[in-house]
Chains A and B, each alone.
Chain A
């Protein structure tokens, strides 16, 4: 006959703790995501800014034809798609943190977060659609 010893604090952590009531390790994964996506974005975004604003004629040479030339290459399509998704999720998660820090009323914080999520989904969907359906011969 074995002796059953419950885990320390098991009676409370199972249902009562803040972590158990919330969403598991969501905040930990969001913290890790900010660092991983941030390091990838350092290369993607600084490369993007260097190409678009500094090299050759900088912003002065950008027009529809320039975009069409770039997006004829799967390399730049992939670059821009990854950049769009990572930048929007990194930025939205940062804004979520800012809202949670400064919005004092829970209802205000909730409304601002919902607005943020709607805008984020809209922009990510719009940008993704544009990259995948780009037509260089549009009239």
Chain B
């Protein structure tokens, strides 16, 4: 397979796939944001209306989806910082691949404990606290 032409940052490899993931996570988070503003707006209806809808966020399946949401936001944030560094930091474009690997490592380091803490609250509320 022919290698990508030299000097391209956005065709193939880390440059392209980081961009694809940035789009997908961005669109997904935007649609969640629309829903989230509307569910929070229920505080203007009544406390019980809000609490009933927020209860769905506490169920195990939606809680796992929240881990996915946090993972999407965290990736979008870290890659966004990488984009700013590529655009404004003089050596940025030369280090874009290393920075992509860097944000994946940071993402994993934050998501592993983050996932644990997000899920443990739900597990404890279902089966009782262990502490």
Tell me the complex Cα distance, A137–B84, Å: 44
Interface size on B, residues (CB 8 A): 40
Tell me the complex Cα distance, A65–B47, Å: 8
Please determine whether B51 and A64 come into contact, CB atoms closer than 8 angstroms: yes
Which of A38, A57, A127 is within 8 Å of B80, CB to CB? Answer: A38
Please determine whether A60 and B30 come into contact, CB atoms closer than 8 angstroms: no
Q: Give the bracket for the number of chain A residues in contact with chain B.
A: 35 or more
A residues with CB within 8 A of B: 35, 38-39, 41-42, 45-46, 49, 53-54, 57-65, 67-68, 84, 87-88, 91-92, 94-95, 98, 119, 123, 126-127, 129-130, 133-135, 138-139
Provide a sorted-by-A list of 25 A–B residue pairs whose CB atoms are within 8 angstroms: A35-B84, A38-B77, A39-B80, A39-B84, A41-B77, A45-B73, A45-B77, A46-B73, A53-B70, A58-B118, A60-B122, A62-B57, A63-B54, A64-B48, A64-B50, A68-B43, A91-B30, A92-B30, A94-B26, A94-B30, A123-B37, A126-B41, A127-B37, A138-B44, A138-B46
| Number of inter-chain CB pairs below 8 Å | 108
- 10 pairs of A and B residues whose beta carbons are closest in the complex: A64-B47, A58-B121, A91-B30, A38-B80, A127-B37, A60-B121, A42-B77, A60-B125, A54-B117, A130-B41
Please determine whether B58 and A59 come into contact, CB atoms closer than 8 angstroms: yes
Tell me the complex Cα distance, A139–B114, Å: 36
Please determine whether B50 and A42 come into contact, CB atoms closer than 8 angstroms: no
Q: A45-B77, A134-B43 are in contact. Are A84 and B84 (CB under 8 A)?
A: no
B residues within 8 A CB of A139?
A: 46
CB distance from A69 to the nearest CB of B (A): 12
Tell me the complex Cα distance, A134–B74, Å: 30
Please determine whether A54 and B46 come into contact, CB atoms closer than 8 angstroms: no
